[in-house]
Chain A
Amino acid sequence: GQNIDQPTEMTATEGAIVQINCTYQTSGFNGLFWYQQHAGEAPTFLSYNVLDGLEEKGRFSSFLSRSKGYSYLLLKELQMKDSASYLCASPRGGSNYQLIWGAGTKLIIKP
């Protein structure tokens, strides 16, 4: 089957580091996406991992372990504007055309 799990909500402090985890069970794995969605706004693309390892992009990094079916998004030097929902998604096994989405992790940043 296809399943993507991520925590519902997390809280972190401004200036700190937070790691948002995503576990997936998809056959025919073909990469994992992270999107950011601010309340009342559309999702925006953050990263796409196909190979194992860490990819850094400024304050945001994304990690993938295909053998463990696990990914995380690492946010450093948290800012209040990072308060948002973070969605992970992976293509449906055997298909290049349909993404399976997690329910999203709502990240709350406190001063």
Chain B
Amino acid sequence: KAGVTQTPRYLIKTRGQQVTLSCSPISGHRSVSWYQQTPGQGLQFLFEYFSETQRNKGNFPGRFSGRQFSNSRSEMNVSTLELGDSALYLCASSLQGTVDEQFFGPGTRLTVL
């Protein structure tokens, strides 16, 4: 059974640009959650999608958005990048949602210059 995949693995952007990250969940998993991880801050919840619907959203500005497709693949978009957006972005999939064992992808390392 293939694990969660994320593309790209590494990304370098400049301030003001926008970026789209992709996540393919484990087959059969309908829930995809996105997290931002920075040193010393732990995992910060961005949002969760289940069957193409956003079920919950964390405390991030509207520059952060996402969507989920009918095949459960999910994308996350960040517009007008800021230096503080540099982080590891992780997605996780599960059968039922975040209150369930989540399987994480390897992450996308975003650097904003």
Q: Interface of A with B (CB < 8 Å)?
A: 8, 30-31, 41-45, 48, 87, 89, 91, 95-104
Contact = CB atoms under 8 A, between A and B. Distances in A.
Contacts of B48: 97-98
Contacts, number: 55
Contact of A102 (B35, B42, B104): B42
Interface of B: 4, 35, 40-45, 48, 55-56, 58, 90, 92, 97-99, 101-107
A96 B99 contact: yes
Nearest to B56: A97
18 contacts: A41-B106, A42-B104, A42-B106, A42-B107, A43-B43, A43-B104, A48-B101, A87-B43, A89-B43, A96-B98, A97-B48, A97-B98, A97-B99, A98-B56, A99-B43, A99-B98, A103-B41, A103-B42
Contacts of A41: 106
B107 A97 contact: no
A97 B98 CA distance: 5
A102 B37 CA distance: 11
A41 B107 CA distance: 8
Contacts of A98: 45, 48, 56, 58, 98
A96 B97 contact: yes
Contact of A42 (B56, B97, B98, B105): B105
A40 to B, nearest CB: 9
A89 B103 CA distance: 14
B73 to A, nearest CB: 18
A74 B104 CA distance: 23
B104 to A, nearest CB: 4
B41 to A, nearest CB: 6
In this complex, the member of A8, A97, A100 whose beta carbon has the largest number of chain B beta carbons within 10 angstroms is A97
Contacts of B43: 43, 87, 89, 99, 101
B104 A31 contact: no
